[in-house]
Amino acid sequence: MDLSENPFASTHSLDNNPFDDPDIAPSTSQNGFPDHEHAVRMEELARRERELEARERELTQKAENIRRFGRNNWPRFYPLIFHSIKDEIPEPSQPIVNRLYQLWLVLAATLVVNMVACILILVAGSSGGGSDLGSSIGYLLVITPLSFLLWYRPIYNGYMKEQALYFYIYFVFCGFHLAYSVYMIIGIPSTGSAGLIQTIKMFAQGHIVAGVFGTIATAGWVVQGAGNALYYRQASRIWAHNKAQGHSVEKAKTELATHGAKAYFTRG
């Protein structure tokens, strides 16, 4: 027996280690340093890991919100309803609904500025300042939710649910809102509007701060009023959509009798 032959020696070649995984071992270039492609691959894996972590955090936050409030997400400070143009409105209709929502936000901001302007008008010594302030507070508390419920939410629901009832509600109450906007732009004293007449009066009497806030309020009334008028005037676009979906007064009556108000805030 040849003592040089070790019976316990491995039968595997040193060059063919079965425990070597070519996918795990870093590739090297001829100079012995890691290949650049390996570094790029590791960076890509790290980027994907960061994206997954961010997505997991987002899902956790949504799950927590749903646990606390159900699916309700609007308004953010006290969620009462679910509002998501991206999730609920068909993609072709999203731009117009987005614009109308932005106009409603301008309206809400204008009501706040209008109230501040009326406070300054009262401080400036206007004889009707008390009435202006009281009315402006009432407008803020009443017009803000009613405008959302009576003309913005109906057009939102109209595009979401394709029901004639909501389109007709929008046409009626947005018409009233346009008339109200003109009334507020004029700014008649003692009516709660810091519109044109009130603003000019403040500047003429040297009450610059009150005049500036009145100018901002007037601009807000003009912007949201003109914007709503533009979409209302282009009602042919909405009306064409309305008719194309087979909406009619008879259909609206049927929907009202069938669903009533129970589906006003829901997708059903």
Query: Hey, which bits of 200-245 come out as E strands?
Result: none
Per-residue pLDDT at 201 exceeds 80:
yes
If you average pLDDT over residues 232-246, what whole number do you get?
66
End-to-end CA distance of the chain, in Å?
Answer: 90
Phi/psi for 28 (5° steps) reads -125, 155
Residue type for 52, please?
L
Q: Are 128 and 107 in contact (CB under 8 A)?
A: no
Residues whose CB falls within 8 Å of the CB of residue 165, separated by 6 or more in sequence, listed in order: 251, 252, 255, 256, 259
Q: Which pTM was predicted?
A: 0.70
Residue 24 CB neighbours (<10 A): 6
Max mean pLDDT among 4-13, 26-35, 40-49 falls in 40-49
pLDDT, residue 32, reads: 55
Q: Rounded to whole angstroms, how far apart are CA atoms 206 and 190?
A: 19
Which DSSP symbol is given to 25? S
Kindly report, residue by residue over 157-177, the tens digit of the pLDDT.
988 887 778 888 998 999 999
